[in-house]
Amino acid sequence: MKTVLVSAVALIDGDGRVLLAQRPEGKPMAGLWEFPGGKVEPDESPEAALIRELDEELGIGTWESCLAPLTFASHRYPEFHLLMPLFACRKWGGIPAPRENQVLKWVRPTDLKSYPMPPADLPIIPILRDWL
């Protein structure tokens, strides 16, 4: 079974809320909420992939020094195995705006469980809730 490496981030604003993005129609798992990020390309570090994805998806910039490793998800889907490091980030440049038809929402950590998420993201919720 193929392993897919995806890098994700918990963007945390000054009020302690976390940014979620809703997967748009036409993508796998459309309608589910997730942490921003994306696939790590060959010869790319998870941090570099995240910086690239945040620019492409949200129009914001950040720096590797602002990405703190927090936890990871390891989940077997029917077609592949997902390995997803999750970073925490409290500092970035710009205002997050949807660039790929996704809906964005700032959510309190205690409310994360109210948003339907892909199975791989679910174990991350209590970690974020307890950490924040």
Could you tell me the CATH number of the domain that includes residue 124? 3.90.79.10
Closest CA to 109 of 49, 52, 35: 35
Give the integer Cα–Cα distance in Å for 47 and 83: 14
pTM: 0.93
**Phi then psi dihedrals of residue 85, to 5 deg:** -70, 140
- pLDDT recorded at residue 19: 98
Q: Per residue of the chain (132 residues), give pLDDT as tens.
A: 999 999 999 999 999 999 999 998 888 888 999 999 999 999 999 999 999 999 999 999 999 999 999 999 999 999 999 999 999 999 999 999 999 889 999 999 999 999 999 999 999 999 999 988
Domain that holds residue 118: 3-131
- pLDDT recorded at residue 101: 87
What's the half-sphere exposure (Cβ side, CA atoms, 13 Å) at 48?
6
- pLDDT recorded at residue 28: 84
Question: Do 31 and 101 contact (CB within 8 A), yes or no?
Answer: no
Domain count, the chain: 1
